[in-house]
Amino acid sequence: MADQQQVYPVPDEWKRRAKVDAEGYETLYGRSIADPGSFWLEQARRLDWIKRPEIAGDWSFDESDFHINWFTDGKLNVAANCIDRHLASRGAAPAIIWEPDDPNEPARRYAYLELHQEVCRFANVLKAEGVEKGDRVTIYMPMIPEAAFAVLACARIGAIHSVVFAGFSPEALAGRITDCDSEFCITADEGRRGGKRIPLKANVDAAADRAPALKKVIVVQATGGDVAMKEGRDVWYHHVAESVSDDCPAEVMGAEDPLFILYTSGSTGKPKGVLHTSGGYLLWASLTHELAFDYKEGEIFWCAADIGWITGHSYILYGPLANGATTVMYEGVPNWPDASRIWQIVDKHQVNTLYTAPTALRALMAEGDQPVKATSRASLRLLGTVGEPINPQAWRWYYDVVGDGRCPVIDTWWQTETGGHMIAPLPGAHDLKPGSAVKPMPGVDPQIVDADGNVLPGATEGNLVIAKSWPGQMRTVWNDHDRFFQTYFSTYPGKYFTSDGCRRDEDGYYWITGRVDDVINVSGHRMGTAEIESALVLHEKVAEAAVVGRPHDVKGQGIYAYVTLNSGVHPSDELRDTLKQWVRKEIGPIATPDALQFAPSLPKTRSGKIMRRILRKIAEGDTSSLGDTSTLADPSVVDHLVANRVA
Ligand code: ATP
Ligand code: MG
């Protein structure tokens, strides 16, 4: 496609200012693969160790000797790395800037010194309520500073946090509490998003009925809304906090001691309780934050995710704070009170780097350029994206309209399982191609294999696996080590299987083509859903598209497209034909959709990813068994799609 030939060279300014240039990347990457032992021990120096490790990676992906350990003999505390070690040099510098849901309310700022006090006090409250090292603590919180304090307080005392996104239902929350046998839950009276209130404490009450493991609920007063408190189980955070000190020693932790459990988004089935440990994870979050975002002292970094997702863990909290950055935390949603909100926040807090998801960009793009153009955005220097393949159309809009053609767009491919970025450009090192995640991070050894596991060299397409362990790799599925091995290491023995499809071009650039399950085979031609979706989104009337395969008598699989139109555009048979012809022209006759359904909205996970698994079932007409839909953001979307299915 013409799209993929378009190259955006590293701007001259970036060649001058970046920490890592093209040559620097080659040297760094080369060393990481040729001599991982000494490379990683040297990288480990970016952390503050109580006992410095002398062993780097100790791992095997083989079934007979399956184990993954990093820096095993090292000792450290993750929270001390994110806070205490910065106090002497930048104690008065802002650690967190918090922007509330309602723009008329004041923002809050916490210097590193203040963050230290808040986290210590929170840690002492946890101790006072009986939390001990190794206990699982469920955090079900709105995006308020106390959520960050709670996470870091767990890390400080060695408790294992399990953050559950505050948009999840009581059922989903109960399932996650039960799965990791968590006796403690931290929540707030209510959350606020887009001007609405979310009854978090009431949700916890409902979840508790189904989660007998839960013994204690610590409630932060956020809105002052009315809530019921259950005697003996529920305590107000601010009551306990009155009587504890704001000094709390950091627990000495082994590098392989668990840091947190986080359940995957559930795009493909029952969520997995991904376990990350202390040393390797923090090193990975810190290194990738510095490299991919070319982070420099004093910059304002805004990752517009929720701390309920891995993106929030690694790039709102752990990565930026380990690097002593100023991180922005936003309570609300991108389109409230209006479609300018994100860009207004950029101006208000003079944000230098913005990191968000394609789903948010597509939604904002559908509102036109005016809400963006009404703001300055002069502070921006770098833009990032994560979560799904980004359509080249959305990439260019981000680059041209949001970044005014000044800011590189960094497309970062990674997973909950990987802890941090795996394939991503470094802005000072790599020319960019819209839609490509570009090159592997140091230590990451990606391979493309065919269905039989044969490694495909050069420019090729197939299944993406990672051949070597890296420090940020998950260590197990909580309580189900067998599922861990079976899910990730049994398909292609000796390798980590990502479940994603991928293409590598002549320049060695990587292009994620979507989940392997989503690759469609039409008359023997393999096609990534991402490519057809990108072609549809290129059309001026289309806001969003999702494509799935369904059985076809002649072709093996046929192409079924769901299309959401821009606001104000009305569906018609004529437009349907136009769009089919459009794809035919953009990609070729083989990619012409067999069926095209107009969809006012698409089924998405609460992290905003399209659930193609459900769309596939609807396309096939198999609507009686849609599988696990508990992670759907809005279940009613499905009924509308079923009713309007194209036979
Ligand atoms: P589950 O594993 O429960 O089905 P999930 O895979 O959606 O859920 P996450 O870990 O949040 O859970 O998402 C990781 C996946 O998101 C990747 O495997 C990939 O499919 C997709 N992804 C993330 N970033 C990108 C990107 N930059 N380009 C393409 N795909 C991406
Ligand atoms: Mg996944």
**pLDDT tens profile 13-64:** 999 999 999 999 999 999 999 999 999 999 999 999 999 999 999 999 999 9
pLDDT at 646: 93
Nearest Cα to Cα of residue 645 among 552, 560, 551, 576: 560
**Strand order, beta sheet including 496-504:** 446-449, 460-466, 496-504, 510-515
Q: Which atom of ligand 1 is nearest to the CA of 390?
A: 28
Q: Residue 357 above 60 pLDDT? A: yes
Instruction: Tell me, using a 6 A CB cutoff, whether residue 527 lines ligand 1.
Output: no
Residue of 531 and 450 predicted with greater confidence: 450
Mean pLDDT of the chain: 95
Counted residue by residue, the chain has a size of 647
Tell whether residue 415 is among the known ligand binding residues. yes
Task: Summarize pLDDT for 264-289 with one digit per residue, the tens.
Answer: 877 777 789 999 999 999 999 999 99
Q: Which atom of ligand 1 is nearest to the CA of 607?
A: 11
Q: Which atom of ligand 1 is nearest to the CA of 265?
A: 8
Instruction: Tell me, using a 6 A CB cutoff, whether residue 281 lines ligand 1.
Output: no
Ligand nearest to the CA of 413: 1
pLDDT at 1: 44
Across 291-296, average pLDDT: 98
Tell whether residue 436 is among the known ligand binding residues. no
pLDDT at 634: 85
SS3 273: strand
Nearest Cα to Cα of residue 74 among 282, 318, 320, 322: 282
Tell whether residue 387 is among the known ligand binding residues. yes
Task: Summarize pLDDT for 91-141 with one digit per residue, the tens.
Answer: 999 999 999 999 999 999 999 999 999 999 999 999 999 999 999 999 999
Instruction: Tell me, using a 6 A CB cutoff, whether residue 411 lines ligand 1.
Output: yes
Tell whether residue 7 is among the known ligand binding residues. no
Q: Residue 358 above 70 pLDDT? A: yes
ipTM over 0.85 threshold: yes
Tell whether residue 412 is among the known ligand binding residues. yes
Judge whether 75 and 51 are in contact, CB under 8 Å: yes
For a mutational test of ligand 1's pocket, the pick from 439, 465, 604, 609, i.e. the residue with the most ligand atoms closer than 8 A to its C-beta, is: 609
For a mutational test of ligand 1's pocket, the pick from 264, 605, 607, i.e. the residue with the most ligand atoms closer than 8 A to its C-beta, is: 264
Ligand nearest to the CA of 514: 1
Task: Summarize pLDDT for 610-640 with one digit per residue, the tens.
Answer: 999 899 999 999 888 777 777 788 888 999 9
pLDDT at 4: 53
Distance 260 CA to ligand 2 centre (A): 17
Ligand nearest to the CA of 605: 1
Tell whether residue 388 is among the known ligand binding residues. yes
Distance 529 CA to ligand 1 centre (A): 14
Q: Given phi > 0 = left and psi -120 to 50 = alpha, else beta, which region is 25? A: alpha
Kind plus residue range of the DSSP H or E element containing 596 = strand 595-598
Task: Say how far apart CA 111 and CA 66 lie, in whole Å.
Answer: 43
Instruction: Tell me, using a 6 A CB cutoff, whether residue 314 lines ligand 1.
Output: no
Q: Which atom of ligand 1 is nearest to the CA of 499?
A: 18
Tell whether residue 450 is among the known ligand binding residues. no
Q: Which atom of ligand 1 is nearest to the CA of 498?
A: 18
Instruction: Tell me, using a 6 A CB cutoff, whether residue 386 lines ligand 1.
Output: yes
pLDDT at 2: 41
Distance 264 CA to ligand 2 centre (A): 6
* In 13-144, beta strands by DSSP E: 57-60, 67-70, 75-76, 94-99, 108-111, 136-140
Cα 531–Cα 535–Cα 539 angle in degrees, nearest 5: 160
Instruction: Tell me, using a 6 A CB cutoff, whether residue 566 lines ligand 1.
Output: no
The protein residue with its alpha carbon nearest to ligand 1, atom 12, reads 265
Instruction: Tell me, using a 6 A CB cutoff, whether residue 512 lines ligand 1.
Output: yes
For a mutational test of ligand 1's pocket, the pick from 270, 500, 605, 628, i.e. the residue with the most ligand atoms closer than 8 A to its C-beta, is: 500
Instruction: Tell me, using a 6 A CB cutoff, whether residue 306 lines ligand 1.
Output: no
Q: Which atom of ligand 1 is nearest to the CA of 309?
A: 11
Q: Which residues make beta-bridge pairs with 326?
A: 300
pLDDT at 632: 83
Q: Which atom of ligand 1 is nearest to the CA of 270?
A: 3
Judge whether 207 and 177 are in contact, CB under 8 Å: yes
Residue position matching structure tokens 């839960």: 214
For a mutational test of ligand 1's pocket, the pick from 164, 261, 270, 413, i.e. the residue with the most ligand atoms closer than 8 A to its C-beta, is: 413
Task: Say how far apart CA 642 and CA 621 lie, in whole Å.
Answer: 8
Q: Residue 437 above 70 pLDDT? A: yes
Instruction: Tell me, using a 6 A CB cutoff, whether residue 468 lines ligand 1.
Output: no
Across 395-416, average pLDDT: 98
At residue 525 the predicted structure's pLDDT band, cuts being 50, 70 and 90, is: confident
The protein residue with its alpha carbon nearest to ligand 1, atom 17, reads 415
Backbone angles phi, psi at 302, to 5 degrees: -125, 110
Judge whether 123 and 156 are in contact, CB under 8 Å: yes
Tell whether residue 195 is among the known ligand binding residues. yes
Across 199-222, average pLDDT: 97
Q: Residue 552 above 50 pLDDT? A: yes
Task: Say how far apart CA 420 and CA 424 lie, in whole Å.
Answer: 10
Task: Say how far apart CA 516 and CA 333 lie, in whole Å.
Answer: 31
Residue of 609 and 511 predicted with greater confidence: 511
- Cβ contacts of 171 within 8 Å, gap of 6 or more: 207, 210, 630
The protein residue with its alpha carbon nearest to ligand 1, atom 15, reads 415
At residue 554 the predicted structure's pLDDT band, cuts being 50, 70 and 90, is: confident
Instruction: Tell me, using a 6 A CB cutoff, whether residue 412 lines ligand 1.
Output: yes
Looking at the chain, the whole-number percentage of residues with pLDDT higher than 70 is 99
The protein residue with its alpha carbon nearest to ligand 1, atom 26, reads 413
Across 423-448, average pLDDT: 98
